[in-house]
Amino acid sequence: MQVERQAAVALKWHTLAKVFSQAFSWAVTLIVVRLLAPEDYGLMAVSTVIISIIAGTAEFGLGSSLMQAQNLERRELARVAGMLGVFNLVCGVALAASAPWIATAFNEPGLDLVIQVSTLQFVLYAIEAVPQALMQREMNFKSNAAIEVTAVVAASATTLALAWFDAGVWSLVIGNLAGGAVRTVLFVLLGTFVLPSFVFTGIGKHIRFGGQVTAARFLWQFTYQLDTLIAARFLSGQAVGLYSVSMHLATMPVSKTMAIVNQVAFPAVARLQNELPRMRARLLEALRLLAFVAIPALWGLSATAQEFVDVVLGARWHEAVLPLAVVSLVAPLRMLMALFATAASAIGRADLEVRNTLVGALVLPVAFLVGVQASLTGLAASWLVAVPIILAVTLPWTCAAMGLSTSSVLTAVRGPLIGGVAMYGAVLATRAALIDIEEVIRLPILIVAGAVSYLLVVALADRAIWGDLRRLAAALHG
């Protein structure tokens, strides 16, 4: 089957799965937010950041190396599986042992036990990594989608049940573990499970490639989640909870959409790495489609943040309005950066991802430390300053590696950008005209006004997008 056709089929299954699972997850999240206190989310946010940073190191980029390799032997898979087991076991034990010191450093009683229980995830990561990588390498996204949906439903249902019975932060911790356990069992049953071997000769190429990916991943995870750690150090537990929920809502479309795009894009671009003109054309089309969806969703969330927070989350979360509005504005740029990082790694340029991530590691900590001095809103605003600076520095490097011009990238996103600005203005103008109407009535009116204005302006500004949509729809239908 043609690579583009495979990618379209994969995108169909992955998108259907994500739409269903995220609709369910969002509904549960909005209920759980009303049941739990901001402090619970603050505690979980710090634990999640630490776990995710160490987990990225424990995986050592070996899953990406398996997907990127052109040829694989069964012996290689067994040895890579063994290496993954060792890395995860060492990282999990080390983190559990250091949890009391971490809790003391952040002055968060109870954080140590939350981290120690959460380290059970490393056992699950070690088991599922190879079956998941092989399933994605084969572009078997129908099975992958079914697994993800089942895991999300299990995690969300467990979290909701425990939150309903007033389990506090443990509803979040146990919910994550329940979803992870279901996902691991299904990858083993439906995928290609490989018994690990602890003879590590002959996998040097995977270690070298994985080392570069891990360096970039560790820097990225640490740098792009340092805001939560800084917030935990300088702000109150309630403020950290408000900030983490704002970030969660603003970045959920980013993380979930990019989970779809990256899992499809990586193997697709890897297969096209020897056909660069074809790969460039597909990459620009993917970028245009991504911007077409992401900009109205995220800028629309920013424009309607006041009504969304007060109506959906409730009055005690009102202080999250400004952080949510600010962070949502910059989220589409982060999606663009993530797409190009995936493409660079897929053609074997993990070194470029390391270099780009180093730029973020220099810019973001300074921005966070300056922004946190202005409390919650200042910390959120630091993203609005830092991300455009990072993109301005790194985009030319990435475009050069792909053989693209910066102008071609800007042209691809021009229509959605113009439409997004028009949409934002339409929402502000509509709000001014309806200021005396109750928020619960005003919110759907603002959404409709923004959507109509966006589609009208994009129809005039970029007709190419409609051709992309028709081709995508035809591929999905076929």
Q: Whose structure tokens read 């083993």?
A: 188
User: For the chain, what is the mean pLDDT?
Assistant: 78
- Residue at 265 is within a domain: yes
Tokens read off for 357: 């991530």
- Residue at 151 is within a domain: yes
CB 267 within 8 A of CB 70: no
Tokens read off for 244: 């983490």
Question: Residue 222, Cα to own-chain centre: how many angstroms?
Answer: 14
The region of weakest confidence among 129-138, 251-260, 329-338, 411-420 is 251-260
Cα separation, 194 vs 48, in Å, equals: 29
The letter for the amino acid at 297 is A
Q: Whose structure tokens read 């599986």?
A: 81
User: Exposure of 121 by Cβ count < 10 A (0-12 exposed, 13-18 middle, 19+ buried)?
Assistant: buried
Region 342-365 average pLDDT: 76
Is the same domain home to 254 and 201?
A: no
Cα separation, 349 vs 395, in Å, equals: 14
Domain end position, chosen among 224, 242, 261: 224
DSSP structure class, residue 235: S
Q: List pLDDT tens digits, range 437-458.
A: 888 899 999 999 999 999 999 8
Structural domains of the chain, count: 2
Cα separation, 39 vs 239, in Å, equals: 8
Q: List pLDDT tens digits, range 42-91.
A: 788 888 888 877 776 666 666 555 555 556 666 777 777 777 778 888 88
DSSP structure class, residue 304: T
Most confident of 42-56, 169-183, 337-351, 455-469: 169-183
DSSP structure class, residue 310: I
Full domain range(s) for residue 132: 1-224
Please give the share of the chain, as a percent, with pLDDT higher than 90.
11
Is the same domain home to 206 and 265?
A: no
CB 62 within 8 A of CB 84: yes
CB 414 within 8 A of CB 273: no
Provide the pLDDT confidence category of residue 1 given band limits of 50, 70 and 90. very low
Region 285-306 average pLDDT: 86
What SS3 class is residue 60?
coil
CB 442 within 8 A of CB 431: yes
- Residue at 235 is within a domain: no
- Residue at 242 is within a domain: no
DSSP structure class, residue 311: I
- Residue at 236 is within a domain: no
- Residue at 465 is within a domain: yes
Is the same domain home to 64 and 98?
A: yes
Is the same domain home to 274 and 200?
A: no
pTM over 0.95: no
Is the same domain home to 177 and 81?
A: yes
